[in-house]
Amino acid sequence: MNLFDYYTANPAEGALFISGMSSLTAPVLREAQRVIDTSGTALAVDVGGGDGSLIRSLMRTNPELRGLVFDLPRVVGTARQEAERDGLADRFSVLGGDFFESVPEADLYLLKSILHDWDDSCVRILRSCRRAARPDARLLVVETVILDDKSFGPVAMMDMNMLAVAHGQERDLAEYDALFAAAGWRRTAVHQMNDPHSVVELRIAD
């Protein structure tokens, strides 16, 4: 079975994984708040968002933003609890499902550390977002993008780890662009953060 089926079959270990991902997200949040503009966004969906750390941080910055975590049914309860703890429950919701099949309609989609978990079959996730996207929707991909030969060094071990553990990979911009184009998206900007992550901004392709 793949890694995520294993966590479904072993929920205690799955809970540890969610906690670990939240810890890895924490150092990214301040930079994400700096580079991600949610002004004018009614609803943002954190696809595969786990406990909702990223979307909750953006909601704290923008008091008008409504957020939704879309993840496996066994996961989303944690996100709801965290939103209640943060006092965000009145504009926060969760929905369980399979992002390979469909995602909710939204103005903004967030995919943080999702695409690198998979081989190129992850284009199906991007297509799910494209089918559901409102006409002026954006999609933000937060990943460790290989920008040049120098930047590959720090992510080489993660690239091997993703291959060995999840059958995924790190990618450069050309590899991501191929996925985006195949799913009906086009890259409009790349925002480099102060850690190895970048925020790649997408719009619906003409």
**30 three-state secondary structure:** helix
How many residues are present in the chain? Answer: 206
Choosing from 116, 167, 191, 197, the catalytic residue is 116
Query: Which backbone phi and psi does 189 adopt, to 5 degrees?
Result: -165, 155
Per-residue pLDDT of 84-131, as tens digits, reads 999 999 999 999 999 999 999 999 999 999 999 999 999 999 999 999
Residue 153 predicted with pLDDT over 80 = no
* pLDDT greater than 70 at residue 61: yes
On whether the CB atoms of residues 133 and 139 are closer than 8 A, the answer is yes
**Which range, of 17-26, 136-145, 183-192, averages the lowest pLDDT?**
17-26
Active site residue 116: yes
Q: What is the DSSP string of 38-106?
A: -TT-SEEEEET-TT-HHHHHHHHH-TT-EEEEEE-HHHHHHHHHHHHHTT-GGGEEEEE--TTT----E
